Amino acid sequence: MELQIKNISHEFIAFWDKAKNMDLLTQKQLWKDLYEKPNEAIFQHLKSILKHSNEKFNMDKELEYCLKFYDKHFDNISLVAKSITNEIEKTCSECHKLFEIDDIELNFIVMVGLFFANAFVTPFNNTTAFYFLEKIPCNDLKILLAHEITHLFQFSQLKTETYNPTLADNLFNDGLASYSSSIICPNYSLPEYLYGSDKWIIECKKHLSIIKSDLIFHLESKDYELFKKYFVGDNTFKNGIPTRSGYLIGYYVIEYLHRQYALSDLITWQHVRIIEEVKNTLLIL
């Protein structure tokens, strides 16, 4: 197992030390000179991701908005920046024991972004986990690390050159990441593993029959709108169901499958097996 960690949050901290008391135009220029330009490839990749989900995305406008809030989050950013590299290394070790995969390179970028996500895995430099410190509370750090590092282990096992996941793949992948975080980080509650609330889980359960029927019907779909329907949002209602309900259903799917299979087996499953097993499990739940 090999780890590559690029932590550019310290460059943000140096930028903010200079820029925090400056006017907006000066702050924007310092951002470009001290933070964005030295990390141009990273920011170009992020822009492409954000434009994919929002065609109207404009980095300059987003930055103007975000510059108003960095000061409020600066203490937390500094605190997490000091500990995250060590925590990544420890969590990788725990995932390695859980999944029993030796031949793997794990890539990480730690940075301060534009308040759009706390973490995700993307195809940057093959496969990389990004962590955004402005959105990560200290008490959630280990769960978040375990979730995204599980994704890195998952993607290392893909047997295909290109990856365009179905709804079944998304349920399985995020279910496995959420469930694995509960093994790696015991003693938290189910809402904490899923970044939800007790009320949100109750509402998901109330609508379980409708959600299951829709998921089963669309399991083989690769429509990005379906992904957003089940994995994006703020845990409120949209289109008659709670948003992000895919995380809870995926967790239940893996919880059931783990009664029969080790996590080190589940993480090696490929596309065809995943669709079959997710469908059969949804019919049972």
Residue with tokens 């108003």: 68
Print pLDDT tens along the chain (285 aa).
999 999 999 999 999 999 999 999 999 999 999 999 999 999 999 999 888 777 888 888 899 999 999 999 999 999 999 999 999 999 999 999 999 999 999 999 999 999 989 999 999 998 999 999 999 987 789 999 999 999 999 999 988 767 889 999 999 999 999 999 999 999 999 999 999 999 999 999 999 999 999 999 999 999 999 999 999 988 888 878 999 999 999 999 999 999 999 999 999 999 999 999 999 999 999
* pLDDT given for residue 50 in this prediction: 86
Q: What is the pLDDT of residue 277?
A: 98
pLDDT recorded at residue 190: 97
Would you state the pLDDT for residue 53? 76
Residue-level pLDDT at 265: 98
Predicted confidence at residue 214, as pLDDT, reads 96
